[in-house]
Each structure stands twice: as C-alpha cells, then as structure tokens.
A and B are shown apart, each in its own frame.
Chain A
Amino acid sequence: MSQSPIIPTVRGRLLALAAAVGLAGCVSTAAAADTAGIDFFEHAVRPLLADKCYSCHSAGAKKIKGSLRLDTYAGMIGGGESGKPAVVPGKPESSQIITAVHRSTEDLAMPPKEADKLSNQEQADLEKWVAMGAPHPEANGAVAAPVVDRAALMAKGREFWSFKPLAEVAVPAAGAGWADSDIDRFIAAGHKDKGLTPTPDADRRTLIRRATYDLTGLPPTPEESDAFVADQAPDAYARLVDRLLASPRYGEQWGRHWLDVARYADTAGDSADYPVPQAWRYRDWVISAFNRDLPYDHFIRAQIAGDLLPAGDDEERRGNLVATGFIALAKRFSVAPEREKQLTIEDTIDTLGHAVLGLSLNCARCHDHKFDPIPTTDYYALYGIFDSTRYPFAGSEENHRPFDLVRLVSEEEEAKATGGKAAEIRAEQEHLQALWKERDGGKRARRKAAEKARLADHGDGKELKPEEQAALAEQAKKDAEAHAAEDGKRRDDGAIKHEIEETQKRHQGLVDNLPDYLQAYAFAVGEMEQPHDVQVQKRGDLSKLGDQVRRGFPTVLGGQKVAAGTTGSGRLELAGWLSEPSNPLTARVMVNRLWHWHFGRGLVATTNDFGTRGAAPVNPALLDWLAKRFIAEGWSVKRLQREIMLSRTYRQGWSGDEHNRTIDPDNTLCWRFDRRRLSAEEIRDSMLAVSGRLDLSSAGPHPFPPLKDWGYSQHVQFFAVYPSSHRAVYVMQQRLRKHPFFELFDGADTSFSTGVRASASTPLQSLFLMNDRFVFDQAQAIAERAPGDAAEQVANVYRNVLGRAASADEVQVASTYLARFQAEAGAAGMDAKAGVASLARALLASNEFMFLE
C-alpha cells in the first residue's frame, strides 16, 4: 500500500493562502466604519486580486513588477513606478487598475496573459468597488494585512477586551425592589439601560424541575416536587440547591459538560478507531472532580501536568495521572498515528486553546493569525511543549496493540497484571519504536528525492524555466546517489519490515492473554527523555522548517518562556501560566461557560471563542465581576453556581413580556428564563428514570473485545454500541462513527471541543419517538407500574412522566383516549396495557416532557 504523509502538499495554495487573509481569516473590526463595503472588498475583490494580481504585485511576489503592490491600500493608492495611482477611490475612469483589466489598450492590459483575463463579473466587481470609494480595512491607516507588523498587532491585540486584565467593577446600584443579589444588580442595570423589566418569579414546581435538571440532568421525583411545593420555609429553595449540588448526580451532569469541551471519546479516532479501554478513568476523574468541587485552577493544572504535580497520597497521584487524559485523548490520525504526531499535537493545542482560553490557536499553525494576536511563533512555542511530551497510543492499523501506556498501579500489582513481564513488554515497545524510526528515516529521505525528481520531470503543472528544471534534476540525482550510498549502510527495507513483524508478534504474545493488563495502566502522558524546542513549520508543512522557537506561552497572554536549563517539557510551567489569576482568559472563559450551561446562553455567546471573531460580551461588567469573584472564592465552581442559582435572575419565569420581546427578542439581557430542549443525555436518562429502569451505579470500563481480537483497520473499523441502563455519560462513545442516539439528538462532537450544543428538532428524532424499541420499552415499563382503573392509570402516568397531577379535563380526555385506543389495540392483538403504554409514549414525546423552562 502506498503511503504519503498527511501534510497539505497542495500546490497553488500559496496564492490562495494570501487570499485567505481576507477570506477565511479575519477582518479588522476597528479599521472601518463601512463594514458592508469592507465585506464586499473581502469577499469579491481581495480574492480576485490575490488570484490574478498578487503573484506579481504583492509582498509575496518573487519580484514586485513595476514596484506596484496591490496587497496594501497604500500600494494601490500610491501606485508603482508609473507614478499613477492604481486606484482612485470613487473614480474608476481614473484608476489604472480598471483600465488595465478592461484590456482596452495594448500597453496596459492586465493580467499579462489574455487567458488569465478577469471575467466580466470580476471586472464589474472591481469597478463597483472603486466606484464605492474603494472601501478597504487599511483605509484609515490600520495595519496592512498581508505583511504583519507583529509589534503593532500585539499592541492592538492587548487592547481587545478579552486580553485586557480583569476590571475592578463596582456593583451597580440598580434593581431596587427586585434584586436579591449582586448578580441581579448587574442584570437590572442592563435592563434599565434598555427599558426592560424582569419577568415575575417562576412557580415552585417549575423551579424545582429547572434546578433539578440543571444540576443533575434528571427530573425531580414526584415526591420531591410535592415536598418542595409544600415547603414554605424561606430557605426552602436554598436548601434545594444545596441538596442538588451535593448529589452524586451533579458530577455526572456537570462532568459531562466538561467532557464536551474536552472532546472526550472512548476511541482514538485513527483510521480504524481503536478502542481506548482506559479512557473511562479520565471520564470518572472529571465527574469526581466536579463532585468534590476541585478548585478550577487545580482542575486545569492536573489535566495539563498532573503527572508532574506533587500528590498527598497514592489516590491523588493516580488521579493526577489520569487527569492528563485531557491531553492523552487527543485525536489520532491515519493508519499509523505515531507517525502523524504533528496532527495529534495540533488537536491538543486546538482543544487546549478553545477549552481553557477560548482561543483558536490553530489558525497560527500555518500563518500568523491575522487579527487575533497569535503569531505562528506562539503556536510553535506551545508545539515544542507537546512535542516534548510522550503520548500513549491505543493501537492502529499498522500496530494492533497499544504502547506507551502509563503505569497506574504499584510495581507489585503491575508485575501481577503482566505475569512478571512488564520490563520485557516495555522493551519490545521501545524496540518497535526504534525500528519504525529506522524504517521511516530512509523512506522520508527517498520521498523527498522522488518529489524533486517528479518536479524536474513534470514541472508540477507550473511552467518551470529550463534552468530551474535542470537544477532540480541535478539535485534529485545527487540525492538519489546519496541515498544509494546511505542505503548501502542501511539495512534492507525488507529486513526491517520482517523484524517489525517479528517484534509485533512477540509483543502480542506477551500482552494478549493478560486479563488485568489494560486496566493496570492509564491513558496518560509523560515527559520525553529529551525535551526540545521546535522549528516553525512554514504553512504547517513539516518539511519546510523556519526559525527555532523557545517553548513558551502566547505573547499576548504574557509570553513567558520555559527557563533555560529546565529539564522538563514545559507542561508544568504551562499548567501554571494557564491557571495564573493574572491570566485574563482562564477565569472569564470558565465563568462564561457556567453561565451558558445554566442559562442556555453565555454572556459571551461564543463560549469557545473569545477572539476578535467571537461575540462581544453583552454584560462585560458582570463577566469580569463573576471572574474576579470566582478567583477570590478559591476557583470554587459550586460556590459560584450557588450564587447564580440563588439569584432572582435565575428564578425568573419563562413567560415573554411583549414589550421586552420587542426590545431584546433573543433575551440576551436575561429578562426571563429561556426555555430549552433537553440534551441527548437528559432525554435518555429521563426516560429511563421515569420508567424506573435507570441504573444509578457507576459503570466502570466498557466491555471492549479482548486484546487478542484487535485487528482493526480502515477496511474493518472498530464499531460497537453497548447496551446500557447506566446514565448516558457512561455510555461508550466513538469518534469515527457516533453513537446513533447521541448523533440523533445532537450529542457532543467527539472529535472537536464542543462549547455550545445544537438542539434542532428533526423528523428523524420524531421517528425515534414514534417507533424505536427503546421508547416502547420504557413506555411499557411505565404502563406496567400504573395500576387501577382508567382514571387512576392516567393520573399515575401523568404524575410519573410529567411529575405533576393531571387536571380533571386531562384525565377525562386521556381516559376517553385509553378506551378508544385499547379497543383498536385489542382488535389488533395487543395486550391490555397497550393503551396506557400509548399514553405514556405520547407524554414522553410531548413538548412538555422534552423542554425545560
């Protein structure tokens, strides 16, 4: 099978990349008032300039023809050698560029080749743009986009709200007569500015349902609801919140939220999607961390560098180790993921950026982030840290067994789990890696030579000058000779291959029949023996290396570097920088997440993106106040949640005041509580809960096939759906093929950090509720638990499914329904409970059940 590296080797991307500056990249927000005009420039004009003109008229051109640059506003206005401006804003007839593209005179016809001429549409767009006054993001003297002035960008970046230090804000004196708490006063101040009025408090039954789902992901039992409704003590609600925060179910709900952000999955995501039988430990660690209210700064540190943190006891040590699953569970790629580590590192940095900092750091993998102040060097400063980190591998098409797992148990227990062969197993794994290195070293060199030869032969579609072609051919010949000489010293490929196969066989022989082997280890990371800085990979291409960059933290966030003489990878330092109280993003991003998960919308709507392309905060003062308070209260998640939930803001009803709706239709300023559909997990768990079939014990590891059966490949991928009556958070979820239920109901993406879940209602979901066996099974169980006559059955089913009493007319209608349905069902051969089960299904499918308000 042929192999080629997963590096974007696409030609013609150079130019396109320049175009990306305007397109996929980022438009300055400060530069221009005329955003529509700028938009037109970015979408219609800049791409065509990049496509047709930049190859000769930009900073990226080999030689700038006629000294004219069209990649800057100044260049267009100033013109080139001719001294005439290429663009005269508002005057197409005086603009040289328009004359040129019309090709009406022979001396000034551009682009030079007739074949490349602009289409009529393109000519019209260009002319329209000039006539509009040539709106351009640099028109006000802002930074030139294609040539980045880093210092200026950085200075400008620090001015952006999210990179500024947390502000000291005073609690506003607003909301008299309504506000119960400081949070309410901030919200009331926002209301006052816009003329909004808060919605009256929710009724008690609504409130307990809301709070219980919110904190535990489950409905309250009918008894709990009744008791709360009857409890008139002034502190009844506060006691309810405290009870729910202390429930073990709390960690399952809020841990799941974090698992969304951490793109948790039980498989690796390589071409065969190998199982990761140890992943569950990370999942359980997250759940337990929320239940224990582990301070958030510590929570972050443990996930980045738990293996390097001091631990009070063995349990904490194991927990810290497992916590690095956050990094270890980065997505794997291809048939040989260890050979594509650069992509796994990219996933790590991407996830880390979104999850902890709310930043898209990965834009900077190929080019300086154009408007967020993240230069490529910052990306490779982080890259070096993870390139110096040892990742475990789950197994892959080319190597069916895991390696570099991290010992979790004591040495004695490890000896027991490995039949005393732990050292031998490790030795085989190390031997394998040495062999791969030997094999790939030769291959990579040969591939490069072959590429050069190919270019010389074919010009790669570009017109190469004869001398260029000759030079390439000469170089290719030299390389080939060098390889031949090297090959003389090197072992034969076949011999290496043979030894790899033999080693793999021995390795498999050692591990395949050890029942306790896999669970004696964690899927965790460690330090490489030789930590190192890396060179910038130009345009994200591993073979095009630039300057070496010292490992460190993004410049705009402080730019701390790993100290000289440090022996570690830098993860420990990174963990510290991320959790510094002075870091403006870590606390802001997390309190915003908490707000989003409670209210369904963050104060910053784009919870994973606090960059310039993200949404602006609607109540920046509140955001900073919450962040400061979070830090001051020892990064306690539960304390902040308690404060949010006890606020009157949270306790508002859902009804919509007409006046408010006109002013703020999307309720961005929290003048009511927004209704939301239950999440995939909540839907499943609620159905199991009301049918009495939910297993509330923790589930432990998944029943993956034994190691000796692992031979998955891209042709025969691993795929399984394990039935479970445990809570949804414990259900096995894969990367390549999503679990059908979670896919159907908008579960989290298992390959990317999910900050905001979708909650679309689709016909396929309706079909599930109409016809799926799972729904029928739960309805049957509900029906079987409903005794008595029709009226009693109806009352019972209403109470169990909806947690409330049926009204008199509901009982009457449903009883009529039962009789009618049962008669037809009986005729169709169904049992005596068919009608009650149908009623239960209808209630399970109802909007009242599916939505929280």
Chain B
Amino acid sequence: MDRLPLLTRRQAVSSLLAGSLLLPGLGGGGAGLWAGETPAPTDPLAPRAPHFPAKAKRVIMIYLSGGMSHVDSFDYKPKLYSAAGTKVNNKFIKRPDWEFKPRGKCGAQISELWPHLAEKADELCIINSLRADHGNHFEAALGIHTGSVTLARPSLGAWVSYALGTNDKNLPSFVVLAPELPYAGGQVWSANFLPPCHQGVRITPGDEPIPDIIRRLPTAGLQGLELGLVQSLNQRHLQGRPDQALSGRMDAFTTAGGMQNEAPEVFDLTTESDATHELYGLKRGEKKGFAWQALVARRLAERGVRFIELIDVGANSGHNWDAHGDMATHTPLAKNVDQPTAALLTDLRQRGMLDDTLVIFTTEFGRTPTVDGEKNKGREHHPNCFTSWLAGGGVKAGMTYGASDELGIEVAEKLVHVNDFHATILHLLGLDHEKLTYRYGGRDFRLTDVAGNVVKDIVA
C-alpha cells in the first residue's frame, strides 16, 4: 500500500495543538488533558465482532440513480433482437441498443455498454433475478437502501455501522460520496431510529467535502490554541463530574480535530501515482466525476471506513439513468462509471483488499423490455426484474445467478427480492439479518422487516 503513514488520533491532536500553551491551573496538559480519549465501553462506533466469521469487512456500494436498464447491460435476451418490433401484451418489443458478448473465462454476457467492466467479468457475481417493490423512483430508491418503500427506515449503511462499528474514528463509519441528491434525498442514508452516529455523512466533491471541515481561523496554530482552551475548560469542568457524556463530548472534539487533519489528506489525491490516475481515468487535479468518487472510495476503505456508498448522479432526470426519452443517454453515463468501477476492482485486487471488501453495484429498478410506441427510443421503469452485481468479499466470482424470462420481463428462475439481496449482503459481512435488530417504538426492527432469505448459492 502506498498510503501515507497515518497519525494516530492522539498524534493528530497533539500536532493540531502544536504550539498550544498549557494553561497553568487548567488541567495542566499531558495525559490528564485527554481523560476522555480511551473509547468508552459503550462507544457506539467501537469495532464489534460480527455474528459469525465472514470474509467481507467493509462495503463499497455503487448506486446508479434513475434505473439502469438490465436488458441493455448484463441481462442478455436474444429474443429482444430477433423479435424486435413485434407486439407482446399490446406493447412493442424494443431492441437493445448494444450488442452482448460472452466475457472472461466464465463467459458471462455483458454488453458493449460496459467495455471495462466486461474485462472484469471473472470478478463479478451478476444477479439477473432481482425484484423491487415499487415502480416509482422515490419509493424504489428508498427500497434498495432501506428495505422499505413506504416509511423511512435506517439505511443499509447505517445498519452495517450499527452492527460492526468502525476502525478509524477520525472518519465517519458510513460515508456517502454524493455529488447530487438522489430520489428521497437524505432518507437513503439516514440512521432514522438508529443512534445518529450511524447516519451516512454525505461528502460532496469540491472544496468542502464535509460540512465545516475547513478551518475558519487563518492558521492551524490559532485553532490549536483555541481547541486547547476548550479542552482545558472542559477538563477543569470535568473535575468532580465523572460523567461519560462530558468526557465523550471532549473525545468528540479530539476526533473532530483528527478528522479535520485527516480529511484533507484523504481527499488529496496528489500522492496517487500517474499509473493510478490513468487506471481510473482521472485527470490529475480533477476533484469531481465518478473517477474521483471511486478513487476516494478506495482511500476511505483503506482507512477503515466501514461502509462507503457512491451515488452516481442524482434525482435530476435530465442527466441520470432514467432513460425514458432515449436509451442513448445511458452511453455517456456508463462511460463515466465503467472505467472507474473496473479500476476500483483492479486496484482493490492489487492491494489485496478485494477479498475483504464487498463491492455492490446496483440501481433502484430496471427498464421495460417492451414499450408503448414502436418508435420509442427510451424505456420505462421496471421493478419486476432487474440486475445488480456483487464482487469481492465472500462472493462467488465469475458467476451469473438467476434468470429472467426470454424477454427480461419477469423473473423466471431464482427470484432475489430486495429483502433477499439485503439479507445476503448482511450474511457476507457475518451478520444474521434476523438477529440484527433494533428496538424502536415497541418493536424489534430489522433491515429485512419480516422477510428476506440469504442467497446461499452465491456465497463462496
């Protein structure tokens, strides 16, 4: 790994406080000043063991907002080509805009829409039999993230953070790289009724990726002075008040200092080699685009962030995967995502991290194989059957699982409902989706509510 040696939290804060005066009579500095630093046993973000041993230790989830067409990408349906233009159920069969080919040793069918990912076919476990509960973006986006299409519930990332905690307290446990807001907005990364520390922290590309992460005081020295004063005041206040809420809050300042120190380093890609930039297709100095998101995701994963979600584009149907008007709008979107995603897999593999990182590639629903008008260029929403893939930690590689019918309209074999998908993801992390519960409003809630079956056939 070519990452910089990282400062420990204590070192980070000491360096932040470099030059801070030790105020006489106010706690006196040294270890006593940092009485709150040892994580309290009840620290909700402390790393925790899973229910049973598992390979995947962390997750990188890629979510394409708007609904990626399954029949144009990973679900090859020859009949859509041979019977194009004919009618079924009063609708016209629409020919996919891209050709498919068998790829890799496994021979998985992947279309020309994804040339780089096609090269990675032997790493993927493609699921062609997913089903969602709703045909609207808003509800389906909630569904793929929270398992519920109606009421807001905690997000998958929040559940995982709640279950497993995190390894680097200088960074949030659940990070969402989202340049734009998706459908249902922040509800898709919400902790909802789980403790708020499990909420996804949204990072937006640009100059202030995390709110208030940029020091407002002109010099680090000044901020070090001020934080030193805060902690000294708190240390003095703590005398005679053995209260975890007080020391915990002091700890939060220490972590914030660490975060402020570490975050710029995480987002500073200058230390990445030219080869890496090239692999991801990222121009040096560029601070946005999916390649930026993918590379930052790898850096966050290296630092121990438990759940990293990359949201591609957002709710604005003008430029997302919601291709009602013309399937050709998938072309530039895929071009933006294809190479960086393939690069992420290569990069993780090279660094020995793919075995314990679960990569999820998903969307809220697929797109209709048939359309109302013979000349329609686009496809509509299709929750009954769609595609996602998994790769890495504990997943069978080079596999295509489940099948749709000959037109890609309905699931024909091995249905994987979104609840099953979630149950399987938790299983790959060593979590039993029926045991991962949280008591709220008189009920033990689960990510999978009252449903969900682990798809054991795809577990390596």
A residues adjacent to B (C-beta < 8 A):
1-4, 6, 8-13, 16-17, 19-20, 23-26, 43, 47, 51, 119, 271, 273, 333-335, 343, 354, 360, 363, 372, 453-454, 457-458, 461, 606, 608-609, 611-614, 655-656, 675, 677, 714-717, 719, 736-738, 740, 743-744, 746, 749, 751-752, 758-768, 770-773, 776, 809, 813, 816-817, 820-821, 824-825, 828-830, 838-839, 841-843, 845-848, 850-851
* Contact assessment for A760 and B212 in the assembled complex, using a CB-CB cutoff below 8 Å: no
Residues of B within 8 A of A830 (CB): 218
A427 to B412, CA, bound (A): 50
Determine which of B192, B201, B229 lies in contact with A842 in the assembled complex, contact meaning CB atoms within 8 Å.
B229
Distance of B306 from chain A, by nearest CB (Å): 15
B451:A715 contact, CB within 8 angstroms: no
Closest to A751 in B: B152
* B441 nearest in chain A by CB position: A360
Contacts of B333 in A (CB 8 A): none
From B44, B233, B250, A843 is in contact (CB under 8 Å) with B233
Check B25–A360 contact: CB distance below 8 A: no
A624 vs B369: C-alpha distance when bound (angstroms): 64
B216 within 8 A of A: yes
Q: A716-B315, A846-B230 are in contact. Are A813 and B24 (CB under 8 A)?
A: yes
Q: Contact partner of A611 among B222, B412, B442, CB < 8 A?
A: B442
A16-B452, A458-B411, A613-B442 are known; give 17 further A-B pairs, CB within 8 A. A17-B450, A354-B441, A458-B410, A613-B439, A714-B138, A761-B251, A763-B259, A764-B256, A766-B253, A767-B256, A770-B215, A825-B218, A829-B218, A838-B225, A842-B230, A843-B233, A846-B237
Q: Are B255 and A763 closer than 8 Å at their CB atoms?
A: yes
Inter-subunit contact A760/B196 (CB<8 Å): yes
User: Known contacts A16-B450, A334-B139, A820-B225; is A457 also within 8 Å of B410 by CB?
Assistant: yes
- Cβ distance B11 to chain A, nearest Cβ, rounded Å: 17
A848 touches B233 (CB 8 A): yes
Q: Which of B122-173 contact A (CB under 8 A)?
A: 133-139, 149-152, 169, 172
Within 8 Å by CB of A770, from B256, B382, B443, lies: B256
Measured in the bound complex, the distance between the Cα atoms of B199 and A746 in whole Å is: 11
Contact of A717 with B222 in the complex, beta carbons under 8 Å = no
Contact (Cβ within 8 A) B412 A458: yes
Among B196, B257, B380, which residue has its beta carbon within 8 angstroms of that of A1? B380
Nearest 6 interchain pairs by C-beta: A766-B256, A761-B249, A613-B442, A20-B450, A271-B138, A763-B256
Least CB distance, B428 to chain A, in whole angstroms? 16
Chain B nearest CB: distance from A209 CB in Å? 14
Main secondary structure of the interface of B (DSSP, over half): loop
| Bound CA span A825–B222, Å | 7
A9 and B133 contacting across the interface, CB-CB below 8 Å: yes
Q: Which residue of A lies closest to B226 (CB)?
A: A838
- Which of B134, B417, B435 is A12 in contact with, Cβ under 8 Å? B417
Chain A hits for B405, CB < 8 A: 458
Query: How far apart sit A241 and B148, CA to CA, in the bound complex (Å)?
Result: 47
* A343-B150, A762-B196, A763-B255 known; A6+B441 contact, CB < 8 A: no
B219 and A824 contact, CB distance less than 8 A? yes
- In the bound complex, residues from chain B placing their C-beta under 8 Å from that of A740 are 211
Q: Cα distance A743–B197 when bound, in Å?
A: 11
- Find out whether the CB atom of A717 lies under 8 angstroms from the CB atom of B216: no
B230 touches A717 (CB 8 A): no
Cβ of B330 under 8 Å from chain A: no
Q: Are B442 and A24 in contact (CB under 8 A)?
A: no
The reply to whether A24 and B443 contact each other, CB–CB distance below 8 Å, is yes
15 examples of A-B residue contacts, CB within 8 angstroms: A2-B382, A9-B133, A43-B434, A454-B410, A461-B415, A715-B137, A717-B315, A752-B441, A758-B195, A758-B196, A762-B252, A766-B257, A767-B212, A771-B214, A824-B221
CA distance A744 to B252 in the complex (A): 13
Chain B 417-452 interface 0/1 with A at a Cβ cutoff of 8 Å (1 = within): 101000000000000001101010111111001111
Contact between chains at A817 and B23 (CB < 8 Å): yes
Beyond A10-B419, A613-B443, A770-B223, whether A764 also contacts B201 by CB under 8 A is yes
The listed residue (B234, B258, B383) touching A4 by CB distance below 8 A is: B383
Residue of A nearest to B255 (CB): A763
Residue of A nearest to B140 (CB): A4
Question: A4-B134, A715-B316 known; A333 and B150 CB under 8 Å?
Answer: yes
Q: Which chain A residues lie closer than 8 Å to B453 at the CB level? A: 12, 51
Compute how far the CA of A377 lies from the CA of B119 in the bound complex, rounded to whole angstroms.
Answer: 58
Among B94-102, B181-189, B283-291, the one that faces the other chain is B181-189
Contacts of B152 in A (CB 8 A): 751
Q: Which of A9, A25, A845 has the most CB of B within 10 A?
A: A845
Q: Return B73 CB to nearest CB of chain A, in Å.
A: 19
How many angstroms from the CA of A468 to the CA of B258 in the assembled complex?
Answer: 65
CB nearest neighbor in B for A843: B233
Chain A binder among B240-248, B342-350, B391-399: B240-248
Interface residue? B381 (CB, 8 A): yes
CB A679 to nearest CB in B, in angstroms, measures: 14
Flag if A771 contacts B216 (CB, 8 Å).
Answer: yes
A458–B413 CA distance with the chains assembled, in angstroms = 10
- B443's partner among A360, A816, A817 (CB-CB below 8 A) is A360
A761→B183 contact, CB < 8 A:
no
Q: Is the CB of A715 within 8 A of B439?
A: no
Is residue B328 within 8 Å, beta carbon to beta carbon, of the partner chain?
no
Point out the residue from A6, A606, A737, A749 that lies within 8 Å of B442, measured CB to CB.
A606
Q: B45 to chain A: closest CB distance in Å?
A: 9
Residues on the A chain within 8 Å of B192, using CB: 749
| Nearest A residue (CB) for B194 | A758
Cα distance, A335 to B184, chains bound together (Å)? 12
Q: Decide yes or no: A13 and B451 within 8 Å by CB, A824-B225, A847-B250 being known contacts.
A: yes
B317 within 8 Å of A by Cβ?
A: yes
Contact pattern, B 201-225, Cβ under 8 Å of A = 1, otherwise 0: 1000000001111111111011101
Q: A817-B23, A824-B222 are in contact. Are A10 and B417 (CB under 8 A)?
A: yes
Determine the distance from Cα of A499 to Cα of B438 in the docked complex, in whole angstroms.
49
User: Is B84 at the interface (CB under 8 A from chain A)?
Assistant: no
Interface centre among B237, B437, B443 (most CB of A within 10 A): B443
